[in-house]
Every structure is written in C-alpha cells, then in structure tokens.
Amino acid sequence: VFGAIAARGEAAAAAVSDRAWLQAMLDAEAALAHALARAGVIEDAEAEAIAAACRAEGFDAAAIGAAAAGSGNPVVPLVEALSAAVDEPAAAHVHQGATSQDILDTAAMLVAGRARAAILADLDGAGAAAARLARAHRDTPMAGRTLLQQAVPVTFGLKAAGWLAGLGEARAGLARVVLAAQLGGAAGTLASLGDTGPRVLAAYAEALGLAEPVLPWHTNRVRPGELASALAVASGAVAKVAQDVVLLAQTEVAEVRESASGGSSTMPHKRNPVAAISALACARQAPGLAATLLGAMAHEHERAAGAWQAEWRALSELLTATGSAAAWLRACLEGLEVDAGRMRANLDLTGGALMAERVAASLAPERGRLDAHRAVTEVLARGGDLREIASPDLLDPAGYLGAAGEFVDRALRAYEEVEDG
C-alpha cells in the first residue's frame, strides 16, 4: 500500500522485481552457454538450446524462491528447472563450470545496471529542471539563510545552481561505478573448465556487456561497496534539494509551491509538498541500507556465510529507494512554482537586517570596524530600521549579490559541457 510512495521510480522498482532478478540470472546462464561455445567447450547448437530456454516467463519465480530455502540461494533450484527445460545433450552443459555465486553476483550487476539506467534518467530530469530554474532565476533575489536565520541576500538562481551541481556530481559518481561479470567456479579457480577458464570468462563478460575482472571478485566486495556508496550519495544529493523545497514551501515562507501539491481530506486549505516529502522519505532509507552493504564487505574465505546472502535484499531496497527519491524529486522540480514576489517580500521582513554585513562594512572606513559593527547592532537590537544609518541604495538586496550571477553561469556552463560531452 506504500507502493507508489516508496517505489515511485517505477523503472528502478521494476528493475529489481522478482521477475527482473530471475531474467538476470537466466541472462547469466545464457551468456555462460555462449561463452562455453566460443571457447570450444560445448557445441554452438548446445549453447543455442540453452540460451533459448533462458526466458523468465518459462519459470515460476515463486516456486524457485520457495525452493531457495533448501540450498540457501535461488540458483540451485533455477539450474534444476533450467536443466529440465533443455533437452539432452545440451542439458548436461547448463551451468557448466559455474557456481551459484557466479550467477547471482552477475545477475546483481545486471539488475543494478538496469536500475541505474532508470535512476540516472531521473537524476538527469531533475538536473535539467534545476538548470532551467537556475537560468530563469539567475537574478531573482531572495534571502540567503544560514542556520535557518536570514543572513544576506542570494538569488534563487544560485540556490538552484547549487542543486544542479550536487545532482550532477552525484550522477557522475553513480555512472562511474564499474559493473563487472563474475565467474570463478566453486572457489574462484574455474578448475572444472581446465585451462579454458580465462577464455570462457572473457567471452562471458563480453556477452553480458559487463567488465571483465582481473580475477573473480566473489569475496572482494569493493565493487558492491562502491555501488552502495554511490547510491547513498545520490540519495543524499536528492535529499538536500527536497529539504530546501519543503522549507521554502512552509506557510510562513511560501516562496515555492509544488504544482501538484497534495490536499487534505479535512483541511481544505492545505497544499502539501508531497513530492519533496516523499523524496525525503525515500532518501532516508539509503544511509542505513548502504551501511548494511558496507558492513557486509568482510566475506569469509571463498564464499561468505551470511554476508553475501545479506546483500540481495539490501541492494534491491537501496536501488528502489534511490530510484524513487530521484523520480519524486524530478516530479517536484519539473512542476515547481516559484514566487519571486514573495522572495522579495521576505527580504524586507527584517527592516534591512540582511544588509547588516554590508552596512557595517560601509561604515567601517569612517567609524572603525568595531564602532561600525556596534552601530548596526544597536539599531537592530531595538527593532529599528537600518535606513536610519544607511542610504537606501546600500540597503538594496539586488546590489549585494557578489558573484551569485557568475557562479550560476559557471554551474550552467559545467552542466552544458557534460551534456554536450
């Protein structure tokens, strides 16, 4: 019943479904058969026969899941079912040379790769929306807020440019993670393939479109650890933006609004930033799930007793959570309504206090730094207005934006270079 909230990133969620895992395991078995044929271990016709049977619709995911309990992983029953679905002599070559972990680790990489494509698409969508906002509001002044207190003026464009930068960096980090094929046989030596092992491995990786590892990584979990980290970082980058939207949408601030804000059944006036809130809820799953995966890196000997099996669900959940967070944020930003007038009005809430830094600096040459600081503080402390001691142009927020515009331009340029490259 939480589906649409926790799994908004439909493509990412679909990529980690039972069916998707099943197909990914079958893709690994099919690639293995082709690789065996290419290395001359089996006949091409045998490989074709095996590959032809490797279609998820031919298998009962629930039954395989149930049978998995007996052996501790779903590959054992899947191989049995696949062998039964293939005629001899090809049937005898199903799964040849491989161990369960080869198939499952490879499937995990395929699943992750497919989910990642969906996540990257939504991060890109969110990034494009942030870029549009940065461009459109390059010079829209608003209150900069530090520790949730108004501090000095910034522009909404600069804020959006910061979002863009974070999303772009997180995207690049996620895209950079190398997904590699896994094939090592019972304990990483490919012994049952005699001296054809490395050739089979190379052909297997190529058939799958995955990187060929230097050696089997069955108990070297740097790759899963890096994948988990990059997903958590992406969730964190999404959360930063969503958090800002929620705060800007507060009744008392009201500077942005989601176009599809959620209503309330009892309070007709509510306009809840549902997309941003849901993005936050999804992103909050990530650090704990990443910690589970990072904490499971110490695999014992040639196959872990627990740490490996712990990865499957945590990885699926982490891909779903990150994908949903990205999809929610994209929806949030693509429909974000910005109220520049309210931004301007909020700048004036404090009688010029946001310009205190500038006023103090302008008085300093004449009065000395300490006296200038004191004069400003005195006015503000008694609730006064800085117009008492400063000229109106000094108090214009638009005149105290420093490099905001230039920073926006730099961020947009960097974004466009990546887009073009």
Where in the sequence numbering do the catalytic residues fall? 264, 303
Selected from 12, 13, 22, 86, the binder of a second copy by CB under 8 A is 22
CB 162 within 8 A of CB 410: no
Burial of 250 (0-12, 13-18, 19+ CB in 10 A): exposed
In the bound complex, what is the minimum distance in angstroms from residue 121's beta carbon to a second copy? 19
Give me the sign of the Cα torsion angle 57, 37, 75, 114: negative
In the bound complex, what is the minimum distance in angstroms from residue 5's beta carbon to a second copy? 5
**Binding flag, residue 297, a second copy (CB under 8 A):** yes
**Binding flag, residue 283, a second copy (CB under 8 A):** yes
Within residues 397-416, the interface with a second copy by CB under 8 A covers 400-404, 406-408, 410-411, 414
**Binding flag, residue 281, a second copy (CB under 8 A):** yes
Which amino acid, 237? A
**For 209, left (φ over 0), alpha (ψ -120 to 50), or beta?**
left
**Binding flag, residue 253, a second copy (CB under 8 A):** yes
**Binding flag, residue 244, a second copy (CB under 8 A):** yes
Alpha helices per DSSP H over 369-403: 369-381
**Binding flag, residue 153, a second copy (CB under 8 A):** yes
CB 274 within 8 A of CB 262: yes
> Which of 60, 41, 44, 54 lies closest to 86, judged by CA?
54
**Binding flag, residue 187, a second copy (CB under 8 A):** yes
Selected from 106, 140, 182, 292, the binder of a second copy by CB under 8 A is 292
Count of residues in contact with a second copy, rule CB under 8 A: 179
- Name which of 47 and 241 has its Cβ closer to a second copy: 241
- Name which of 30 and 100 has its Cβ closer to a second copy: 100
- Name which of 11 and 274 has its Cβ closer to a second copy: 274
Q: Using CA atoms, how far apart are residues 296 and 310, in angstroms rounded to an integer?
A: 7
**Binding marks (x or -) toward a second copy, 348..387, rule CB under 8 A?**
-xx--xx-xxx-xx--x----x---x--xx--x-------
67 Cβ neighbours under 8 A, 6+ residues apart: 74, 76, 77
In the bound complex, what is the minimum distance in angstroms from residue 129's beta carbon to a second copy? 16
The single-letter DSSP state of residue 216 is -
Exposure string over 294-309, b if 16+ CB within 10 A, otherwise e:
eebbebeeebbeebbe
Within residues 218-237, the interface with a second copy by CB under 8 A covers 219-223, 225-226, 229-230, 232-233, 235-237
**Binding flag, residue 137, a second copy (CB under 8 A):** no
Within residues 300-339, the interface with a second copy by CB under 8 A covers 300-310, 312-314, 317, 321
- Name which of 207 and 307 has its Cβ closer to a second copy: 307
Phi, psi of 150 (to 5 degrees): -60, 135
What does 70-131 look like in DSSP terms, one character per residue?
A: HHTSTHHHHHHHHHHHS-TTGGGGTTTT--HHHHHHHHHHHHHHHHHHHHHHHHHHHHHHHH
Selected from 11, 52, 186, 211, the binder of a second copy by CB under 8 A is 186
In the bound complex, what is the minimum distance in angstroms from residue 58's beta carbon to a second copy? 14
**Binding marks (x or -) toward a second copy, 62..91, rule CB under 8 A?**
x-xxxxxxxxxxx-x-xxx-----------
Span near a second copy by CB under 8 A; candidates 40-48, 121-129, 203-211, 283-291: 283-291
**Binding marks (x or -) toward a second copy, 27..56, rule CB under 8 A?**
------------------------------
**Binding flag, residue 341, a second copy (CB under 8 A):** no
- Name which of 152 and 207 has its Cβ closer to a second copy: 152
272 Cβ neighbours under 8 A, 6+ residues apart: 261, 262, 263, 264
Which amino acid, 297? M
Give me the sign of the Cα torsion angle 48, 51, 57, 59: positive
- Name which of 76 and 340 has its Cβ closer to a second copy: 76
- Name which of 117 and 178 has its Cβ closer to a second copy: 178
In the bound complex, what is the minimum distance in angstroms from residue 254's beta carbon to a second copy? 9
In the bound complex, what is the minimum distance in angstroms from residue 273's beta carbon to a second copy? 7
Q: Which residues pair with 180 in a beta bridge?
A: 211
CB 36 within 8 A of CB 42: yes
